[in-house]
Structure 1
């Protein structure tokens, strides 16, 4: 909850995707495929943000190679997952 409240949208998106990847992700070719159908609108709803703002952030992350997206699927670079979720996390 602290991550969602205190950080900018980019950081909040990365934290959410890292959390979902840790719980539901399958590592493939250096990316964690989140094994849930996930639209920009659903991400926005989870973060209390607009779909438009989330789409801008997701586009920037995709251009940087941090995420890969396709219709209702999101993959997060495994290196980002490791940076955002501590190894001993129980969340």
Structure 2
């Protein structure tokens, strides 16, 4: 196991990312506060949003929308969901 972080999403200590996933202060914050597992879960959710809403990541508005959704996701606030998506029952 590599470095660990106190993950803001999982609310527990977990394995951290190997490198910051984004440039700048936002990437550094994610690196210091988000576990590898939580980041992977966010990427899956983000992919659903991109596909469902047909976001063009070349458009600044689409990138801003995803940044806002990511901030909400890691703050445990309500985030948009892909319509018709049903989470797997555990």
Q: Name the TM-score, length of structure 2 as normaliser.
A: 0.28
Bigger share in strand: 1
Q: Name the TM-score, length of structure 1 as normaliser.
A: 0.28
Structure with the greater alpha carbon radius of gyration = 2
The one of the two structures with greater contact order (alpha-carbon pairs below 8 A, sep at least 6) is 1
